[in-house]
Amino acid sequence: MIFNEFKINNVSFLNRIIISSMCQYSARDGSPTLWHYNHLSSLINSGAGGLMIESTAINNEGKITHGDLSISNKVQIKEIKKIINFLRKLNNKIPIGLQISHSGRKGSANFPWIKKGRPLKKNSWKTFAPSAIRRSKGWPVPKQINNNDIKRIKISYDKSTLAANDAGFDCLEIHMAHGYLLHEFMSPITNLRNDRYGGSLENRCRLLVEISKIVRKRWPKKKCLGARITGSDHLKNCIKEKDAIYLAQELEKIGFDYICISSGGIIPKTQMKFKKGFRALMSKKIKKKLKLKVGTTGMLDDLNLIKKGIKNKCFDFVFIGRPFLKNPRWIFDKVSKKKNEKIIPKQYLRGFN
């Protein structure tokens, strides 16, 4: 079940384990570096069904750190195209996706290995958010986005979508979670606006929906289009499953193919509890109300758990992150010899006999 190919439009995922987007903070001027070649080469023949490239900023202000990938100028687009062509030469069967994002008030941050979750003091930039509320103590107050900013941001999403298609990606995912700009619009914790983009759930989701319509129009129907959304803020009086269902149903109406349910991140500390497959039940509740495909993420590197989750209609597929960093070939150690013959590169087969 896990290792059967599954199709979304013309995109054939090799199986139901997708490598989740993971920022490397190692880009130079928004373009991939040698690190990305090394990192992504190690993942492309890992036995996974699909590979999602890290959160990539739709414009410069939308980066999280100075080391984020961005897909907004000619050089960046050319360099991204180059690395995708290189990866295709290593494996032309696995679909490759891009996650596009705007960091909102979480931008202008330090590299996590220098100061995790802290803002830059030097070489910082002005950040933008739905309301002028700082992330937490020590973070700068972002500029409240006005109508011109909204127009500008929509244009950047449109252009990035066009560029991602031109670069040859099979799949595109809009990042609407983890406390970044679109999540900030949706969450009542970060959105205190009293215009048409604030207040009711419908208003708080308006920008997410408007951007999704723009992207849908631009992204080819034969490819795969999704969004990573928030199932819960894990706080009082904030986003809950029913709100996620509302957003997901809107995305379904617009013609999205999938959502990936994540949660947390709107402020540094929430009541999120980490344990094996901790988002599976949340995902089941949301999936029940939807027709589009549903994935989730978070501590799911256990094939029995994935099998059970698919069988119990908790999700259709999973997005796995950290296990691939620790051991890009972890899947090979967890499946039978017979199955391995299908997923292990032929050059490595003798290592598993």
Ligand X SMILES: Cc1cc2nc3c(=O)[nH]c(=O)nc-3n(C[C@H](O)[C@H](O)[C@H](O)COP(=O)(O)O)c2cc1C
Q: Which two tokens stand for residue 40?
A: 């992504």
Choices 81-89, 127-135, 298-306, 327-335; region in contact with ligand X by CB under 6 A: 298-306
Using CB under 6 A as the binding rule, the residues of this chain from 167 to 206 that contact ligand X are: 175, 178
Q: Give the whole-angstrom CA distance, residue 158 versus residue 103.
A: 17
36, 204, 228, 329: residue in contact with ligand X (rule CB under 6 A)? 228
Contact between 99 and ligand X (CB under 6 A)?
A: yes
Contacts of 285 (CB under 8 A, 6+ apart): 241, 245
Minimum CB–partner distance for residue 13 and ligand X (Å): 17
The interface region with ligand X, picked from 14-22, 141-149, 234-242, 265-273 by CB under 6 A, is 14-22
CB of 278 to ligand X, least distance (A): 9
C-beta of 100 vs 343, nearer to ligand X: 100
Stretch that binds ligand X, among 18-26, 102-110, 215-223, 328-336 (CB under 6 A): 18-26
Nearest-5° angle of CA 288, CA 293, CA 297?
90
Beta strands in the chain (DSSP E): 6-8, 11-13, 17-19, 50-57, 69-70, 96-101, 128-129, 143-144, 171-175, 224-230, 258-262, 293-297, 317-320
Beta bridge partners of 230: 262
Please identify which residue in 55, 59, 156, 187 interacts with ligand X, judged by CB under 6 A. Answer: 55
Site string for ligand X, 23-42 (x = CB under 6 A): x-------------------
225 binds ligand X (CB under 6 A): no
Name residue 28's beta-bridge partners.
Answer: 31
Question: Shortest gap between Cβ of 343 and ligand X (angstroms)?
Answer: 19
What CA–CA distance (Å, rounded) separates 240 from 58? 27
Secondary structure (DSSP) of 139-203 = SPPPEEP-HHHHHHHHHHHHHHHHHHHHHT-SEEEEE--TTSHHHHHH-TTT----STTSSSHHH
Kindly tell me which residue out of 298, 329, 335, 343 binds ligand X, with binding defined by CB under 6 A. Answer: 298
Residue tagged 């990866």 (tokens): 87
Confirm or reject binding of residue 232 to ligand X (CB under 6 A).
Answer: no
Regarding 68 and contact with ligand X (CB under 6 A), the answer is: no
Which residues between 307 and 346 bind ligand X (CB under 6 A)?
319-323
Beta bridge partners of 144: 129
Kindly list the residues in this chain that would bind ligand X in the complex (CB under 6 A): 20-23, 54-55, 99, 175, 178, 228, 262, 297-300, 319-323
